[in-house]
Structure 1
Amino acid sequence: MKLFLMCLLIFVPLWGFSQVKDSLANPIISIENSRLLNNIDITFDMRTELQAYTYRGGDQYYNGVQFENGFTALGFSAKLHEQVSFYFRNRFNRGSDIQSLDQLGSNIELAYVDIKATPKLNVLVGKTYAFYGGYEYEFSALDVLEYNDIQSNALAYVTGAGITYQSSQDHKFGFQVLNSRTMLYEDIYGDDVAANIEEPIWPVAVVGNWRGNFFDGKFQTIYSLSYSNQVKNKGTYFFTLGNKYQNDNLTIMYDFNFSYEEVDTKGIITSIFNTDTVAQDALYIENWVRAEYRINSKFKGLVSLMTSSAYGEVENDRNRLRTSYSVVPTLYYTPIKDFDIRFFLAFIGRYYTYSNYAIEEFNAADYNRNELRIGIIAPLLLL
């Protein structure tokens, strides 16, 4: 660690000198100001697991065993001034291709500045997380072994600007204006579009949320409402109601998600239709429940339950085409006192059922996927 700090102190000033003409006359951190290292956090987060899985659907069946790096990321954050902080995170097990709209690799999840404009008002600018509601979304992907269908396919990290306003100790509001996608229109859709789909002037998303705190923190909420248009005159209306109850060793969370999409952005209905065009007028409705119980200082058990229903418009009538059901019981073991490194044992059961209409008209078939995972979660603070 001492060698690391020495290298950091040597090279950061040199980096600042090389950028004189482009940005700052002096480096943010110089030898004289090395105490600022106290305001810097460097994190390395990892989740590695051994998976044993089976798949069964129609006349298909397969199974296997493998190691997987489910989450690997390096993060930097720093308080540069009493009113200015920045955040950066690179997730290594994501594609690094430069996205044609925001000009960052898809592995760069966070790259934004947080400015404290007033004691109650903060301004965020850069590539950041959308202020969607719900506690499933609130968890880092480091801690979620399996997301429900909407969150599995949602675009969570995009470029834009937002504000948060702490109106009181128990209530906080957020508002954002963001790009609705990270890639240009032609790179996403190409020729695989319907005749009435066109590029908008601005592919924009507008997001608002509210965080509430009641009964001395025993009951909390994260609600959000958003609208985004990926194509001209056709958008997505998405709202989430996230609720959390916490008392002593028990925590219970419940999310309700509703997403009406004039152009299918999640891709599930499009995949069912299996045509050469993007589906339109798709609707997704979800429920997510997670219950956690701390058994003692070393053991914690939890179970997540999920349902997701997908509706598509067929012959001017909206039909339920697919429903998924999921159960994820998990046991955590934390062997080291005052150090967050967790071993886990989890079962992931996912079951997908199609309506008779989807089976008859689109040759869909029910299937299920089951996994047993043994692994480690390590959110490591390096500096």
Structure 2
Amino acid sequence: MKISFQTSIFMQNIIFISLFLLLPFFGFSQVNDSLNQPIIPKEKIELLKNINITFDMRMGLQAYTFRGGDHYYNGIQFKNEHTALGISGKLHERVNFHFKNRFNKGSNVQTLDQLGSNIELAYITVKASEKLQLLLGKMNAFYGGYEYKFSAMDVLEYNDIYSNALAYVTGAGITYQALEQHNFGFQILNSRTMHYDDLYGDAAAEDIQEPDWPVAFVGNWEGNFFNGKFQTSYSASYSNQVKSRGTYFFTLGHKYENRKLSLMYDFDYSYEQVDTKGVMTGIIGNDKVAEEVRYIENWLRAEYRFSLKIKGLLTLMTSSAYGNLEKNNDHARTSYGIIPTFYYSPFKDIDIRFYLAYIGRYYDYSSYALDNLEVSNYNKNEFRIGFIAPLWLL
């Protein structure tokens, strides 16, 4: 086969360029070759021993139905329910940092704390003494109860308060280990991540004003009794989302556990001079934020380990909403929930759980709400099958 003169010249140029690019890898590279040095210097590699990287996943196949009034719909879909990357580590003998990015949340920068909602954690802890610790940055509020203590990855559906509560906010906190079995915490936090007008817009009531500082105060006590068989997680908080009007929130959490069985019960009470959860605002439906609202909840969860690989759990919950509807008749709605779940963990050395669950939610309105607020009772039923994987990458 004949090769043209132009082709021959082209091939010679390619060979010349290739040799020129490869030249540093021969003799000259032995004198000053950056590839001989690791990207991370050897003296810095030790720092990686103090870094933890986690990647949490929950994905499932959902089959659901909705029935309420004249409405009915159903569907089946795969859903990435929870995906989060966490990084934490020790920077100093007394300083640690914590960061968590939840990819299932919006990344728009919030007008008050200047972080996206997807950044759930971004704070440092400073060990002031053996018993006292200081926290600074965006963190989870020290609310009590065991429903709140679970990672969102482990809760298929929250009760109404924590479905709508703002759990991650910016501020400062301290924890104090007063006794070996008793820990106390206190925080001063922003009560919101957004300015009020950005949050509610035209729905704000006429008599509502932005406070100088939308602040929340949270106190927490965690107790441990009978060698850990019985535990408590109590909290009380006050926050003023608007000027001179606020929210009083109390949680009493209890837990009993032995080798195979764990029982948890939470009682939650929230009195809100201006509705922060949005449930009553949605029920009233007059394009104004509801006022003088109360939420009362019960949450129960039982877990039983049948074997090393199989665990069953049952969650039961109720939530009642009260608003300023009419004299002596302010009950608006009660919701009920039941979530039986089975976990199967086939692997010994890695925590990957496959689950099968049913989620039933039922919403019953008071007679006054049914007659006057254009609402109707409804229920949601859902089956899920999927996996939960809290992966420890480093």
Query: What TM-score results when the alignment is normalised by the length of structure 2?
Result: 0.89
Match of 2:113 among 84, 102, 118: 102
Give the match for residue 258 of structure 2.
Answer: 247
Question: Aligned letter for 2:376?
Answer: A
Deviation at 1:31, TM superposition (A): 3.5
- Cα distance in 1 for partners of 2:326, 2:210 equals 26
Question: Aligned letter for 2:91?
Answer: L
- Which secondary structure does the structure 2 equivalent of 1:187 belong to? helix
Kindly report which structure 2 residues correspond to 1:188-199, keeping only aligned pairs within 5 A, or say none: 188-199=199-210
Match of 1:182 among 182, 193, 196: 193
Judging changes above 3 Å, is the alpha-carbon distance between structure 1 residues 170 and 318 closer, same or farther for their aligned structure 2 residues? farther
Give the match for residue 91 of structure 1.
Answer: 102
- 2:272 matches 1:261: yes
- 2:361 matches 1:361: no
Question: Aligned letter for 2:156?
Answer: L
- Cα distance in 2 for partners of 1:107, 1:39 equals 25
Q: Deviations over 1:339-365 (max 9, x none)?
A: 110000000000000000000010110
Give the match for residue 148 of structure 2.
Answer: 137
Match of 2:240 among 223, 229, 232: 229
- Cα distance in 2 for partners of 1:78, 1:155 equals 26
Question: Aligned letter for 1:90?
Answer: N
Kindly report which structure 2 residues correspond to 1:306-325, keeping only aligned pairs within 5 A, or say none: 306-317=317-328, 319-325=330-336
- Cα distance in 2 for partners of 1:271, 1:335 equals 44
Give the match for residue 49 of structure 1.
Answer: 60
Give the match for residue 287 of structure 2.
Answer: 276
- 2:355 matches 1:344: yes
Deviation at 1:194, TM superposition (A): 1.3
Deviation at 1:169, TM superposition (A): 1.1
Point out 4+ residue stretches in structure 1 off by more than 3 angstroms: 315-318
- Which secondary structure does the structure 2 equivalent of 1:142 belong to? helix
Judging changes above 3 Å, is the alpha-carbon distance between structure 1 residues 334 and 310 closer, same or farther for their aligned structure 2 residues? same
Question: Aligned letter for 1:311?
Answer: Y
Between 164-173 and 181-190, the greater mean CA deviation after superposition: 181-190
- Cα distance in 2 for partners of 1:227, 1:338 equals 43
Match of 2:303 among 260, 280, 292: 292
Given that residues 63 and 383 in structure 2 are in contact (C-alpha distance below 8 angstroms), is that contact kept between their aligned partners in structure 1? yes
- Which secondary structure does the structure 1 equivalent of 2:152 belong to? coil
Given that residues 197 and 204 in structure 2 are in contact (C-alpha distance below 8 angstroms), is that contact kept between their aligned partners in structure 1? no
Question: Aligned letter for 1:113?
Answer: I
- Cα distance in 2 for partners of 1:346, 1:253 equals 19
Judging changes above 3 Å, is the alpha-carbon distance between structure 1 residues 318 and 197 closer, same or farther for their aligned structure 2 residues? farther
Give the match for residue 4 of structure 2.
Answer: none
Q: Which has the larger radius of gyration?
A: 2
Identity %: 66
- Cα distance in 1 for partners of 2:329, 2:112 equals 33
Give the match for residue 16 of structure 2.
Answer: none
Query: What TM-score results when the alignment is normalised by the length of structure 1?
Result: 0.92
Deviation at 1:315, TM superposition (A): 3.6
Give the match for residue 33 of structure 1.
Answer: 44
Question: Aligned letter for 1:253?
Answer: M
- Which secondary structure does the structure 2 equivalent of 1:379 belong to? strand
- Which secondary structure does the structure 2 equivalent of 1:34 belong to? helix
RMSD between superposed Cα atoms in Å: 1.1
- Which secondary structure does the structure 1 equivalent of 2:153 belong to? coil
Q: Number of residue pairs matched? A: 358
Q: Any gaps of 5 or more consecutive residues in structure 1?
A: 1-5, 14-29
- Cα distance in 2 for partners of 1:181, 1:245 equals 34
- Cα distance in 1 for partners of 2:45, 2:92 equals 14
Question: Aligned letter for 1:193?
Answer: A
- Cα distance in 2 for partners of 1:70, 1:159 equals 25
